[in-house]
Structure 1
Amino acid sequence: MGQGLNVAIVGSGPAGMYSAGALLAKCPDCQIDILDKLATPYGLVRAGVAPDHQTTKNVSRAYDKIMENESVRFVGNLSFGSDISLETLKSLYDVVIIAIGTPRDKTLGIPGEDKQGVYGAQTFVYWYNGHPEYRDAVPHLDIRDAIVIGNGNVALDVARILLRTEDEMAGTDLADHAGERIFTSPLKTVHVVGRRGAEHAQFSSKELSELGEMQNAVPYTDPAEIPDSFLIDDAKRQKVVNTNLDLLRQYAENSPNGADRSLYLDFHLSPTEILGDQSVEAVRFTRNRIENGKAVSTGETLDIPCNLLVTCIGYDLTGLEGLPVEKGIVRNMDGKVEDGVYVVGWAKRGPTGTIGTNRLDSQNVVEKILSDFECEKFSEKDGPVGLDRYCAEKGIETVSFEDWKTIDRAETERADHDAPRRKFVRKRDMLSLIKESRTE
């Protein structure tokens, strides 16, 4: 007690880190604890960004500087809800910021979705990125045909990672267990399927162009699916779409015949049923036409064979103890949930935008916080001291930022020559490493 505001941020992903950065800039006397259930910080930067997009991961260097501030602590291996409640956090801190994202895949809501070989995007992406809770989520990839449903960048990530060669992935941090499955898979075809037209797809031009650079896989799309032109009042969006359409025209000139592997970009198809006995064997689609901007079934159906189905249709937030969740987000007013409790990022606005989108969003919520609290006022809450006492009483072994740097160094040292790191994918291995380092 006696210092400035005591703040707890639940979640160390981009939204949480930008919130911490904004607080330090506006309220330098505050004390900030950043809590995470994992032993590793930075959320989707580690577990969500595709392993062959290492440049995007460089944003973690800016987060390191925030974590190294003497007013900030990383408190890993502490799970919100199961290890510590919202009520306890409110008793210890003046401000609690919820930055947990939207940790659940949306479902298709069609028959057969419970069959083996059907995965949500988060499950599949966390699996190949080495998230400890998803290490064993995909037992095998003994498959010939895969379908990825969705027309956003995550769908392209999944398709591209499935089709990349071992040489192409040598300079990445793809998890070892995933590489063992992917590089030995007999996979031949991947279909990326969207319910609307090519002009409605949400691919970035950079991601779409990467498909043409794969060593042993050829992208292909039906030229009849590509409109001659696209006009809209939004000039920025119009430019992106027309660049994408030009790329698709190039892919339409490819021949899928004779390639080692083929990637089909399909449009105007909606899944209606997942076929097979215990495991997925095909997906039944209905063909669509667009009426008033909406996809409407023509009544024509099409079955596409597959042994793996990954749905990339968005994320959702389920109920959290002590938090009002409605329509997949925490109910809030400009980021405020209740007195002393705020929400940022996807949990506030839904799963939209890029990593950078969270910066302005978090800054706006911090402005709201500082309009509710006097930054210079001495805190009457126990803050970090109280949290340490609570964890000691509960027997919870937390992970500090110094502990994380121990993991980080070990992962870097374990890596092959070209790879940036070789990840630990079991929490117990990380905690054992930390314990050993503390006794040296």
Structure 2
Amino acid sequence: MAGGLKAAIVGSGPAGMYTAGALNSKCPGCQIDILDKLATPYGLVRAGVAPDHQTTKNVSRAYDKIMENDNVRFVGNLGLGDDISIAMLRELYDVVVLAVGTPKDRTLGIPGEDLEGVFGAQTFVYWYNGHPEFRDAVPHLDITNAIVIGNGNVALDVARVMLRTPKEMAQSDLAEHAGEHIFSSPVRTIRIVGRRGPEHAQFSSKELSELKQMDGAIPYCDASVIPEHFSTGDKKTDKVVNTNLDLLREYSKNVPAANDRKLSLDFFLSPVAILGDDKIEAVRLEKNVIKDGKSVGTGEYVEYPCDLLVTCIGYEMTMLDGLTIEHGKIKNTEGRVDDGLYVVGWAKRGPSGTIGTNRLDSQAVVDRILEDRCDDTGSSKPGPKGLDDYVRENKIQTVSFEDWQKIDMAEKESAAGPSPRRKFVRKRDMLSLIRESNA
């Protein structure tokens, strides 16, 4: 393909970064601007990955390499919708790729979901990871009993982070304000609740095994719900599930003492009502059985006291600049939304997979882009220069990759002890640092 293609990628998380890397390598001479509403790049690597999973966050080093190419720019603090429209981006660039994720928590759809003390996973995770838009989302953790709805790794993350001790989190990048609440919380019991059985849970064995390494809490599971063996004929699936079942059997032998904090892994329960006046006081759950592969209510109920409920049941797309939303994602055909407009990552396929899943997915969409535009002989669109003119005319303070490196260095230099960084959690503080350093 001829050089000169000008592309804007909206979103600098894994999907956006892998798209930039693939486009840069497969289309020599292209110009790529990576836009993000935040002043910091890399999306969920910074704001979604658990703060005590620093090894996972090391993937950002590969993204740094992509950013070091002269034809690739980071343009932070430029929000889609708030600062610039898709229509304007399509006027400026030959190709616009939306890598915006799925920014809305799915709801339970039950009475009481609007009570104080009920949070979606994204809100809670962004809060303890220091996302600027969620700095004040959780006002306190003066609670005794918490329930986490969901049987995936995010549910494990939420419960584990809430139960870790200061010593255990010393090498993490847990946001300072969140640590103050978490470490002083009087929480005694957290239940992770799933509507199906242990064999259907989506926990990774690595994350499930981390629970036995916690200093400040005892994991427990009722042995009666754990099947003796699980087999589908798929060796890879069977290995993961049976490893998980072995871990749950190990946890079932735990006998928490009266003064121990307890993490209970509960199954075959579906929340049907959140109880309380102004704030949550309890959750009513229906007992389930599995019939024909589906979870079916029995009409028998239990109620558990609860001061905090976090729902980890997935995410979905919200309305975006007039685009069609279908089944919780942007309507597309193999990543193509319209002429010159594409989508990657969760916004394309839904909230599924790991960080690495986005790599192959993004490469496939880049191949589609190059097929669609294989006859291009150059571009008359303004691209990066046009964006710079637009930003200047609208008096928007954008953040370059060099600016981000200054934020990054300041966070690392202000870290306490073995922690890798002390995060800025206010955008205004980041922008002030940049203005002062550039003065």
Instruction: State the alpha-carbon separation in 2 of the partners of residues 148 and 253 from structure 1.
Output: 22
* Aligned-pair CA distance for 1:256: 2.1
Residue matched to 2:94: 94
Residue matched to 2:301: 301
- Cα distance change on mapping 1:248 and 1:375 into 2, 3 Å: farther
Instruction: State the alpha-carbon separation in 1 of the partners of residues 97 and 193 from structure 2.
Output: 37
* Aligned-pair CA distance for 1:135: 0.1
Instruction: State the alpha-carbon separation in 2 of the partners of residues 176 and 342 from structure 1.
Output: 38
3-state SS of 2:280 partner: coil
Residue matched to 1:326: 326
TM-score, scaled to structure 2: 0.99
* Greater mean deviation of Cα atoms: 321-330 or 238-247: 321-330
3-state SS of 1:419 partner: coil
Contact 2:226 2:249 in 1 (8 A): yes
3-state SS of 1:367 partner: helix
* Aligned-pair CA distance for 1:260: 2.5
1:304 maps to a residue whose letter is: Y
3-state SS of 1:337 partner: strand
Gaps of 5+ in 2: none
* Aligned-pair CA distance for 1:397: 0.7
3-state SS of 1:281 partner: strand
Residue matched to 1:438: 438
Residue matched to 2:336: 336
3-state SS of 1:244 partner: helix
Contact 1:415 1:421 in 2 (8 A): yes
Can you list the C-alpha shifts for 1:166-220, whole angstroms capped at 9, x where unaligned?
Answer: 1100110000000000000000000000000000000000000000000020000
Instruction: State the alpha-carbon separation in 2 of the partners of residues 375 and 6 from structure 1.
Output: 15
Q: Does 1:348 align with 2:348?
A: yes
Instruction: State the alpha-carbon separation in 1 of the partners of residues 135 and 329 from structure 2.
Output: 27
Instruction: State the alpha-carbon separation in 2 of the partners of residues 428 and 151 from structure 1.
Output: 37
Matches of residues 396-411 of structure 1 in structure 2 within 5 Å?
396-411=396-411
Residue matched to 1:359: 359
* Aligned-pair CA distance for 1:41: 0.2
Q: Which runs of 4+ in 1 moved over 3 A?
A: none
Instruction: State the alpha-carbon separation in 1 of the partners of residues 49 and 94 from structure 2.
Output: 33
* Aligned-pair CA distance for 1:259: 4.8
Instruction: State the alpha-carbon separation in 2 of the partners of residues 287 and 89 from structure 1.
Output: 51
Can you list the C-alpha shifts for 1:280-318, whole angstroms capped at 9, x where unaligned?
Answer: 011000000000111101111000111000000000101
Contact 1:27 1:375 in 2 (8 A): no
Residue matched to 2:24: 24
Percent identity, please.
69
Matches of residues 21-420 of structure 1 in structure 2 within 5 Å?
21-374=21-374, 377-420=377-420
Q: How many residues align?
A: 438
* Aligned-pair CA distance for 1:323: 1.8
Instruction: State the alpha-carbon separation in 2 of the partners of residues 155 and 259 from structure 1.
Output: 24
3-state SS of 2:271 partner: strand
Gaps of 5+ in 1: none
1:78 maps to a residue whose letter is: L
RMSD, aligned α-carbons: 1.0
Contact 2:3 2:28 in 1 (8 A): no
Instruction: State the alpha-carbon separation in 1 of the partners of residues 228 and 409 from structure 2.
Output: 52
* Aligned-pair CA distance for 1:375: 7.8
Instruction: State the alpha-carbon separation in 2 of the partners of residues 322 and 360 from structure 1.
Output: 28
1:54 maps to a residue whose letter is: Q
- Cα distance change on mapping 1:205 and 1:259 into 2, 3 Å: farther
Instruction: State the alpha-carbon separation in 1 of the partners of residues 103 and 375 from structure 2.
Output: 32
* Aligned-pair CA distance for 1:417: 2.1
TM-score, scaled to structure 1: 0.98
3-state SS of 1:183 partner: helix
Instruction: State the alpha-carbon separation in 2 of the partners of residues 31 and 344 from structure 1.
Output: 18
Instruction: State the alpha-carbon separation in 1 of the partners of residues 113 and 5 from structure 2.
Output: 47
Instruction: State the alpha-carbon separation in 2 of the partners of residues 281 and 399 from structure 1.
Output: 44
* Aligned-pair CA distance for 1:68: 1.1
* Aligned-pair CA distance for 1:233: 2.2
* Aligned-pair CA distance for 1:81: 1.0
1:326 maps to a residue whose letter is: E
* Aligned-pair CA distance for 1:374: 3.0
2:330 maps to a residue whose letter is: V
1:270 maps to a residue whose letter is: S
3-state SS of 1:408 partner: helix
Can you list the C-alpha shifts for 1:361-416, whole angstroms capped at 9, x where unaligned?
Answer: 00000000000113872211100000000011111110000000000000000001
Contact 2:46 2:129 in 1 (8 A): yes
Contact 1:30 1:375 in 2 (8 A): no
3-state SS of 2:165 partner: coil
Instruction: State the alpha-carbon separation in 2 of the partners of residues 223 and 374 from structure 1.
Output: 59
Can you list the C-alpha shifts for 1:315-340, whole angstroms capped at 9, x where unaligned?
Answer: 01011013221111010000000000
Can you list the C-alpha shifts for 1:44-97, whole angstroms capped at 9, x where unaligned?
Answer: 000000000000000000000101110100000000011100110000000000
Can you list the C-alpha shifts for 1:226-266, whole angstroms capped at 9, x where unaligned?
Answer: 00110102211110000000000000000123352100000
Instruction: State the alpha-carbon separation in 2 of the partners of residues 375 and 76 from structure 1.
Output: 32
1:213 maps to a residue whose letter is: Q
1:75 maps to a residue whose letter is: V
Contact 2:3 2:27 in 1 (8 A): no
Contact 2:115 2:280 in 1 (8 A): yes
3-state SS of 2:323 partner: coil
Instruction: State the alpha-carbon separation in 1 of the partners of residues 343 and 377 from structure 2.
Output: 22
Contact 1:198 1:225 in 2 (8 A): yes
Instruction: State the alpha-carbon separation in 1 of the partners of residues 387 and 374 from structure 2.
Output: 23
Instruction: State the alpha-carbon separation in 2 of the partners of residues 49 and 412 from structure 1.
Output: 18
* Aligned-pair CA distance for 1:10: 0.3
Instruction: State the alpha-carbon separation in 1 of the partners of residues 293 and 68 from structure 2.
Output: 49
1:225 maps to a residue whose letter is: V
* Greater mean deviation of Cα atoms: 19-28 or 41-50: 19-28
